[in-house]
Structure 1
Amino acid sequence: MDKTEHKATMKEERIRSGDGTELYCSQWIPAADTPVKGCALVLHGMADHAARFSSLAAALSEAGYAVYAYDQRGHGRTAGSDEAIGIIADSDGMDLLVEDARLMISKLREDFGAVPVFLIAHSMGSFVAQGFAQRYGDSISGMVLSGSNGSIGVMADLAKLVAKSEIKKHGRNRRSEKLNTLSFGSFNNSFRPNRTAFDWLSSVDAEVDKYVGDPWCGGVFTAGFFYDLADFLKRIHQKRNLEKVPANLPIALFSGDVDPVGGRKGAGKLYREYKKRGVADLSLKLYPNARHEILNEQNREEVEQDILGWISARSGSARRSGQ
């Protein structure tokens, strides 16, 4: 039999949300002669899009996992135009992203039946996943977070104040250089001398250049988005909400150890929050000298295999999730 017949297939679909928004979804499906072991939903980061996770999705699908990754609202082809990038909703945009993830998890279950379903989320997507776990953690069999962080404390309050001022002056949908600088302005400091504004993403110059040259990546987002993000980050790290995460939900944290978003400090803080919550199956792995996008680092294949190994180990005896 020709080797190519065993390759996973990739297709695209527009999935309509409850409010009518069409979410642009890429799908990697195991070959017809490969039993589907489980499913994974991938959530990308801010100023990012789903296609940038194609290498991980291909590796998972060739191992027998169906993978869906969609451009979240205000991103990529779901946004559809430069003017719409960074505009999520008129209010509570991050909560709407959580509901979109719930829709996609339901879609995976509808398409593939009673198999384990995992959530894999990066950066901003990992914050959406944290909120998802608090509301719908019983509906998945495990959660993998990369480039994530725990509570940012008073910085969330400061960001809300600045965003509120920006919204009052210019409206929710005005792009905010001030908030962009407040959020990301210091991230490159550890990697001087800087070649680009995004050196903090990866130590691989070619990967950074791909990001810089990608029209769907790296844009300045709106004041409304930053307000909703800061408010959401404050809420999901409150004790009463952390306690809503199921203690029997397996959670893996992966991060570059010099990642200015996660790293030893940020990912370590989130690990301690979940540990205090009593999450029984909890792990943290830091990759030496790796920056924010560990799936675009020099050791990308190692990271992909670690994620696949973690999911595979929990597929055979997956906790029963909502079906």
Structure 2
Amino acid sequence: MVRKEELTYKSRDRQTMLHAVRWIPEDKPVAILQIIHGMQEFIDRYEEFANFLAEKGILVMGNDHLGHGGSVTAGKGTYGFFCKDDPATVLVRDAHRLKKMTQEEYPGVPVFILGHSFGSFVAREYITRYGTGINGAIIQGTAAMPSGTVKSLSTLVSVLQVIFGTKYRSEMINNMAFKGYLKKIPDHKTKFDWLSHNEESVNKYVADPRCNFVFTLNGFKTMAELLTRIQDVDRMEDIPKNLPILVTGGAEDPVGNYGEALSKLYDIYKNKLEIKDVELKIYDGMRHELQQEIGREKVYEDQYAWIMRVLKSGTAN
């Protein structure tokens, strides 16, 4: 039987209490998977996937980012606002703190991370900082953006912050970020149909105030900063060469430019950085949220198999 445990711990912003969840197997876990969720969502959206893995002996955990889910309630925060000082670093350190806390309770158990979408930006930065301390990373639903575009976005957001403040929600910036995601879905029923083919999941997302909100300027500035960091190939050289990495996403995902961004990242990891164990898995007929998509059971099985393969191969750190 899987045991669900909720906890709070202090963010590295030194003032906010974060909400976190662990799904704990009945017996000693064979591995730990830490999920780093995406923007405008929360960790409990991964419960079905977490239960699937926990029933197979893998402890699954994750925290709600600053400005997200239960961390807004627990920390009395604002949806889509991270923190004042260096949020791009704080998010990575928050994930690392939960990882260390859990490792203290389960010493010697191998740890993997899975970063989805915006969470993949955090995960990609994480493996440049703390990659030697984990056994593998799944980079899911990630994106790429030309450096000039990122710089322009960051500059525009900075100007708007001076005028309106860091907690201002700009529909203009929001439209710039998401306006193109529906261009290949002409018969869409909601503005979030690009998330998945699963209408039930999309409708729940639309109806949930923990998801259907606009990022603050602080949120978009943080996203631009993370993109700047993770697309710097010199920084990427700090990723351990023996860290197993799975790059994955949907072939119909506009965030990853319909697989192109995933293929390019795979090529950088495999050929430019010469990381020894890198896999690329792109799912035909799937959009952005693999754990919510129709046919997600295949994703569950594949990611479980990848973790077990890494454990058995002995290629992990």
Deviation at 1:152, TM superposition (A): 3.3
Matched, 1:218 2:212: yes
**2-structure distance, mates of 1:83, 1:71:** 12
Write out per-residue CA displacement over residues 39-71 of structure 1, whole angstroms, 9 at most, x where no aligned residue. 111111000100000011111111111111211
Q: Aligned pair in 2 of structure 1 residues 318, 76: CA closer, same or farther (>3 Å)?
A: farther
Write out per-residue CA displacement over residues 222-254 of structure 1, whole angstroms, 9 at most, x where no aligned residue. 112211211221122112101111111100011
Identify the match of residue 29 of structure 2 among 36, 54, 58: 36
**2-structure distance, mates of 1:143, 1:150:** 18
**Which residue type is aligned with residue 119 of structure 1?**
I
**2-structure distance, mates of 1:57, 1:9:** 11
Write out per-residue CA displacement over residues 246-303 of structure 1, whole angstroms, 9 at most, x where no aligned residue. 1111000111001011231111121122121111110111111210001111111000
**2-structure distance, mates of 1:62, 1:271:** 31
**2-structure distance, mates of 1:246, 1:287:** 27
**1-structure distance, mates of 2:252, 2:81:** 30
**2-structure distance, mates of 1:175, 1:83:** 15
Q: Does the residue aligned with 2:294 lie in a helix, a strand or coil?
A: coil
The aligned counterpart of 2:106 is 112
Q: Percent identity?
A: 33
**2-structure distance, mates of 1:284, 1:320:** 17
Contact 1:40 1:117 in 2 (8 A): yes
Deviation at 1:20, TM superposition (A): 3.7
The aligned counterpart of 1:25 is 20
The aligned counterpart of 1:3 is none
Deviation at 1:107, TM superposition (A): 1.4
Q: Does the residue aligned with 1:127 lie in a helix, a strand or coil?
A: helix
Q: Does the residue aligned with 1:190 lie in a helix, a strand or coil?
A: coil
**Which residue type is aligned with residue 26 of structure 1?**
V
The aligned counterpart of 1:300 is 296
**2-structure distance, mates of 1:99, 1:260:** 29
Identify the match of residue 91 of structure 1 among 67, 81, 85: 85
Q: Where do 5+ consecutive residues of structure 2 fail to align?
A: none
Deviation at 1:319, TM superposition (A): 4.7
Deviation at 1:147, TM superposition (A): 0.5
Deviation at 1:316, TM superposition (A): 3.1
Tell me the number of residue pairs that the alignment of Structure 1 and Structure 2 aligns: 313
**1-structure distance, mates of 2:217, 2:15:** 24
**Which residue type is aligned with residue 246 of structure 1?**
P
The aligned counterpart of 1:272 is 267
**Which residue type is aligned with residue 21 of structure 1?**
T
The aligned counterpart of 2:40 is 47
Identify the match of residue 141 of structure 2 among 136, 143, 147: 147
**Which residue type is aligned with residue 105 of structure 1?**
K
**1-structure distance, mates of 2:146, 2:103:** 34
**1-structure distance, mates of 2:314, 2:124:** 20
Deviation at 1:83, TM superposition (A): 6.7
Q: Does the residue aligned with 1:121 lie in a helix, a strand or coil?
A: strand
Contact 1:151 1:269 in 2 (8 A): no
Structure 1 residues 181-196: aligned runs within 5 Å: 181-196=175-190
Contact 2:71 2:77 in 1 (8 A): no
The aligned counterpart of 2:96 is 102
Q: Does the residue aligned with 2:38 lie in a helix, a strand or coil?
A: coil
Q: Where do 5+ consecutive residues of structure 1 fail to align?
A: 1-6
Contact 1:150 1:273 in 2 (8 A): no
**1-structure distance, mates of 2:144, 2:275:** 15
Deviation at 1:320, TM superposition (A): 5.9
The aligned counterpart of 1:175 is 169
Q: Aligned pair in 2 of structure 1 residues 320, 271: CA closer, same or farther (>3 Å)?
A: closer
**Which residue type is aligned with residue 50 of structure 2?**
A
Write out per-residue CA displacement over residues 97-153 of structure 1, whole angstroms, 9 at most, x where no aligned residue. 000111011012111110110001100000000000001100100001210124533
**TM-score for both structures, normalised by structure 1:** 0.93
Matched, 1:229 2:223: yes
Write out per-residue CA displacement over residues 139-189 of structure 1, whole angstroms, 9 at most, x where no aligned residue. 100001210124533221121121112112101111121111111111011
**Which residue type is aligned with residue 28 of structure 2?**
P
**1-structure distance, mates of 2:314, 2:89:** 27
The aligned counterpart of 1:66 is 59
C-alpha root-mean-square deviation of aligned residues, in Å?
A: 1.5
Contact 1:91 1:224 in 2 (8 A): no
Between stretches 220-229 and 299-308, larger displacement belongs to 220-229
**2-structure distance, mates of 1:118, 1:281:** 14
Contact 2:66 2:77 in 1 (8 A): no
Q: Aligned pair in 2 of structure 1 residues 241, 271: CA closer, same or farther (>3 Å)?
A: same
